Amino acid sequence: RGVDRKVETPFQRTLDSNLDVCMACGACVFVCPTGAIKLEDITKKNPMPILSEFEQGLKSRAPIYIPFPQAVPNVPVIDRETCVHFATGECKICEEFCEAKAINFEQEDELVEVEV
């Protein structure tokens, strides 16, 4: 932005004032088109990567993910242990921006028995 064409996060101004409001969710890193934003540069928090069980821990994954990509139906789930909303009660940004309105934090797990 500006004459210097400096890419910065929405929290940059508050970080300069030592008011760390960043949740370390990594959304800004993910959407940065240049790859200029590094999470370790914008927050003092040290988030651990969430290792993918499907990839045998060789890759990381997001808190909302598809546990078994080959399964039918192919349905994403929210990992309650790693989601910022369930950990802090804040965020819900994915629910706001999901165009399909498919994310509902009030929904509970349900066991359905089907006779075949």
User: pLDDT band at 113, cuts 50/70/90?
Assistant: very high
- Mean pLDDT, the chain, integer: 76
Tokens of 14: 């508050």
C-beta separation of 83 from 77 below 8 A? no
Q: Considering the entire predicted model, what is its pTM? A: 0.56
C-beta separation of 56 from 49 below 8 A? no
For 8-57, the pLDDT digits (tens) are 655 555 444 434 567 777 777 777 777 777 777 777 777 777 888 877 87
| pLDDT for residue 38 | 78
| pLDDT for residue 8 | 62
From the CB of residue 28, how many other CB atoms can be counted at a distance below 10 Å? 18
